[in-house]
Copies of this chain bind each other. A is one copy, B any other.
């Protein structure tokens, strides 16, 4: 009897045309049956947006990779996962959703804005084990070669051991450098914030417009964060949940007289 390969759904936010998703799909096709549903255009910073006010277009992509079925979708990363689960793969059990590899870090507060992580968290909401992979290199031609053995190792571990229902792993890789990666560490999300600046410019008609630009400010010195782990040249894994309730504050507020 043939052993059935695990079914792996892949999404991302950098679009179907990105190098990162190709690297990820190639690696995953060695351990499972792979279906890709990825945005047809760049969706960075899309957070957990979903498309409610217009319909989606979903088009098969031929010759994406051998042994990989691929589609491009006009929606957001979260839409891609929903469409994959509830339409394309309806009735089949998806064993794992992986997202990425993102071109750029999704550590610290970036997890909140990240389309890559929203695809993974969407899967977690659906009860599917999920991993978002990101590389700390924003280049469109970034070097992902050092991530490949770890992609397979981490995905296989999740398939073998499972993770608690409702959890998505936020995996960030240090950028490729001369120094070899030291290993993997489990950590927590650094409590940091983007300090935004808005640059005002004038269009050719004299009307103002504003470019947003931000720099991460990380005052979190309590140790064990994803930022700390990446600085030491380890791969960082933060298990994320979608229950935003702050239970401590729930208890505190019960004493409010409202």
Q: With contacts A118-B47, A210-B55, A258-B157 known, is A239 near B243, CB below 8 A?
A: no
B212→A56 contact, CB < 8 A: yes
Stretch among A92-100, A108-116, A139-147 lining the B interface = A108-116
Chain B residues with CB below 8 A from A244, complex form: 111-112, 121, 170, 189, 238, 240-242, 244
B191→A166 contact, CB < 8 A: yes
List residues 146-175 of chain A with CB under 8 A from any CB of chain B. Answer: 153-154, 157, 161, 163-164, 166-167, 170
How distant is A11 from chain B, measured CB to nearest CB, in Å? 15
B79→A212 contact, CB < 8 A: yes
| Chain A 35-60 interface mask (CB, 8 Å, partner B; 1/0) | 00000001011111111110111100
Closest to A251 in B: B186
A210→B258 contact, CB < 8 A: no
Any B CB within 8 A of the CB of A6: no
Provide the bound-state CA to CA distance between A48 and B245, in Å: 17
- The residue that A250 contacts in the complex, of B127, B187, B196, B208, with Cβ under 8 A, is B187
- The residue that A45 contacts in the complex, of B52, B85, B188, with Cβ under 8 A, is B52
How distant is A211 from chain B, measured CB to nearest CB, in Å? 5
Chain B residues with CB below 8 A from A154, complex form: 258
Chain B residues with CB below 8 A from A48, complex form: 47-49, 112-113
Chain B residues with CB below 8 A from A258, complex form: 153-154, 157, 183-184, 237
Provide the bound-state CA to CA distance between A161 and B257, in Å: 11
Closest to A56 in B: B210
- The residue that A44 contacts in the complex, of B53, B189, B238, with Cβ under 8 A, is B53
B245→A189 contact, CB < 8 A: yes
- The residue that A239 contacts in the complex, of B78, B83, B250, with Cβ under 8 A, is B250
